[in-house]
Structure 1
């Protein structure tokens, strides 16, 4: 028996008018995130606490927090506090996390403790995208040059 915090079933009918699964379309990217993370061998990738201890309070399974992290990355939500807030109000995240609501400290600690493993997952995801021909052969270059400049209102004019 696993000693992790358990979420509610996605097909469980609650005070919402329908099951939570009905609010997430079949084409929604969160379903891809869910399937991708479920297929990973988190223990082999080096994630901490994949095998739960039988003592103490149950913790979140790393797959749940990884799904939250990837969702935040795809939706440009980097802050642990914003991810916590989104897990309370965003229906996509409610579905993805099975209504679990980790606090910001848990999210931040997960990132800190599993940085190398998260990097491996990102590499694995990029490789999967390459195999599926999701990338084009186009070259994109971004110039990030920074120059120190001195200018004032008096020197700023156009002829």
Structure 2
């Protein structure tokens, strides 16, 4: 019977590597590293930092951009998962020079500098144009529906939301009336049941106040069509909307991207 050298994929090994050697020419990670390091103007990302004379050193925005954009190219959009990749993946280690930014640092970087990131996108398009990657002839537009972090149960016109609030109030009155009818505890089971009812009342009251506060502070959303009718608002995220997809109705957004025909480069989103 043939014999083969033993191997085990589930093992740890100490290996001496050069980070630049991991970024092979012709790969996306090599192009990303070169663009961020040599071509892009990142001074806008430096302005928020005020640690010239005191405070701990910060992560270089170039490092954060490289690992975040590389993560996006792999479909990774979770800050926690990006941190994990920096701990375990050799390409992430090469791009980050073996640093591991905390997931809160990554999340804050993305959320706190939207204008600088938008300006960076413009720089990338100018470089693509210089390299002859844009055809300037035909642009394709397509969209995809994306879920928002809002429950569709909290959607409705102002009339529907008012009806929801009145229904919640009726439920509260029903539970309170049922609770007040009990003048003594007959058993431990009934005590537990009434405690659960009291919690239900508090939950319903909180929901009713949430709807009432929204109706008081907000204005009805008016559609952009010819009829200019009221469209459904959402208490949690009023910029999102109910939309039908192949997997059912979701509460979300319609993301639209414009792509240049020559090399299918996204020029606007």
Q: TM-score, normalising length from structure 2?
A: 0.44
Q: Distance in 2 between matches of 1:52 and 1:109?
A: 17
Q: Between Structure 1 and Structure 2, which shows a larger proportion of strand residues?
A: 2
Instruction: Give the equivalent residue in structure 2 for 1:151.
Output: none
What count of residue pairs does the alignment treat as equivalent? 134
Q: Is the 8 A contact 1:49 1:62 kept in 2?
A: no
In structure 2, the CA distance between the partners of 1:26 and 1:120, relative to structure 1 (3 Å rule), is: same
Matched, 1:42 2:11: no
Cα deviation digits, residues 100-140 of structure 1 (max 9, x gap): 11011000011122111011101111221122122344442
CA RMSD in angstroms, aligned pairs only = 2.7
Q: Is the 8 A contact 1:88 1:94 kept in 2?
A: yes
Q: TM-score, normalising length from structure 1?
A: 0.70
Instruction: Give the ranges of 4+ consecutive aligned residues of structure 1 lying more than 6 Å apart after TM superposition.
Output: none
In structure 2, the CA distance between the partners of 1:50 and 1:66, relative to structure 1 (3 Å rule), is: farther
Instruction: Give the equivalent residue in structure 2 for 1:67.
Output: 66
TM alignment of 1:6-155, pairs within 5 A:
15-39=14-38, 40-43=40-43, 45-49=44-48, 52-136=51-135, 137-142=137-142, 146=243
| Aligned partner of residue 109 in structure 1, secondary structure | helix
Give the C-alpha shift of residue 144 in structure 1.
5.4
Q: Is the 8 A contact 2:79 2:107 kept in 1?
A: yes
State the structure with bigger RCO (CA 8 A, min sep 6), 1 or 2. Answer: 1
Give the C-alpha shift of residue 49 in structure 1.
4.5
Q: Distance in 1 between matches of 2:130 and 2:120?
A: 15
Q: Is the 8 A contact 1:38 1:63 kept in 2?
A: yes
Q: Is the 8 A contact 1:48 1:62 kept in 2?
A: no
Q: Is the 8 A contact 1:68 1:93 kept in 2?
A: yes
Residue segments in structure 1 that go unaligned for 5+ positions in a row: 1-13, 149-159
